[in-house]
Amino acid sequence: MEAALKTFFSSTRFAVAGASSDPTKFGHKVFAWYIHHSLPVTPLNPRAPTITLQSKEYATVPSPSGLSDASQTSLSVITPPKVTAALLKEAKEAGIPAVWLQPGTFDDEVLAYARANFEAAIAGDGGRGGEGWCVLVDGEEGLKKAGRKREEGWKL
């Protein structure tokens, strides 16, 4: 998984599928993680034109095919497994190289598809958390593996 983490965080851009303005949802927390780490991130949400985080609005893109530089974008996924399956097919067609499937976003079939169709797929058993690989728990280590230096002000 070390190589997958390095590949994922070596991208120049990031996107969060399932981003939300609701601070109780993981789509909000994961999007906030990228913002708080000063990483260039685009929220994906087909039903909301913007996502609000700490009183600031961020324009959304409805799907991976709407990303301007998909081939340089790693995708964090926070959607139900049935939605994730369709999302991954579109992400592959768009040229996204790496995906991070948060716990609860995949079943065995979706996980197999991700591992077979992306340069890097982070998901499943492992990580430091009890439920599997989670960017909120394991993201800092991934940033280090990719050689990204911690910047002042990184806090959640």
State the total domains in the chain: 1
User: How far is Cα 62 from Cα 71, in angstroms, rounded to an integer?
Assistant: 17
Identify the CATH number of the domain in which residue 77 sits: 3.40.50.720
Among candidates 5, 30, 16, 43, which has minimal Cα distance to 143? 5
pLDDT tens profile 29-54: 999 999 999 999 999 999 999 999 99
pLDDT at 149: 65
Both tokens assigned to 19 = 């981003």
Q: Can you give the pTM of this predicted structure?
A: 0.92
Domain limits for position 23: 2-145
Structural domain contains residue 116: yes
CB 75 within 8 A of CB 98: yes
Structural domain contains residue 156: no
- Partners of residue 13 on adjacent β-strands: 73
Structural domain contains residue 151: no
Residues 6+ apart with CB under 8 A from 29: 23, 136
Structural domain contains residue 137: yes
Structural domain contains residue 43: yes
pLDDT tens profile 108-154: 999 999 999 999 999 988 888 778 899 999 999 899 888 876 554 44
